[in-house]
């Protein structure tokens, strides 16, 4: 499993329900390396109307390394293949949320 974290912006305001941007954790099950995981995350973001602005990190994760509050996302990605978790900030805000 890979965890890719990016800063992203919506393509259109209607995609974001008042969010100017977000830190997005993308959990990717089937990636052989970081480049593949990042590519999958980019494709998935575009598919929901968002664009990556900046890659923060891409790293392999084992279940025993994941914080308890994030285990549901890890487990869902293990079943579904990919999960996107958005930590949004509102329009006009410079502050980015965080979550890992």
Compute the distance between CA of residue 98 and CA of residue 81 in angstroms, rounded to an integer: 23
Residue 97: its pLDDT value, please?
Answer: 46
d(CA 91, CA 15): 13
- Tell how strand 19-28 and strand 82-90 pair up: antiparallel
pLDDT given at position 17: 73
Element at 90 (helix H, strand E): strand 82-90
Q: Tell whether the model's pLDDT for residue 98 goes beyond 50.
A: no
- Quick check: 13 pLDDT over 90? no
Q: Model confidence at 30, in pLDDT bands (50, 70, 90)? A: very high
CB 76 within 8 Å of CB 90: no
pLDDT of residue 100: 46
Average confidence score pLDDT of the chain: 89
56 near 77, Cβ under 8 Å?
A: no
| Interval 52-81: pLDDT, tens | 999 999 999 999 999 999 999 999 999 999
Q: Which residues contact 21 (CB under 8 A, 6 or more apart)?
A: 7, 8, 9, 10, 53, 88, 89, 96
Summarised one tens digit per residue, pLDDT across range 32-53 is: 999 999 999 999 999 999 999 9
What is the residue extent of each domain of the chain? Answer: 2-90
* Lookup: tokens for 39: 């590519």
């Amino acid at each position: 499993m890979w965890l890719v974290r990016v800063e992203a912006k919506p393509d259109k305001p209607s995609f974001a329900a008042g969010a100017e941007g977000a830190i997005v954790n993308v959990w990717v099950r089937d990636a052989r390396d970081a480049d593949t995981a990042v590519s999958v995350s980019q494709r998935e973001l575009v598919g929901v109307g968002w664009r990556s602005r900046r890659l923060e990190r891409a790293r392999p994760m084992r279940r025993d390394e994941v914080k308890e509050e994030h285990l549901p996302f890890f487990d869902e990605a293990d079943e579904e293949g990919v999960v996107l978790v958005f930590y949004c900030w509102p329009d006009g805000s410079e502050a980015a949320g965080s979550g890992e």
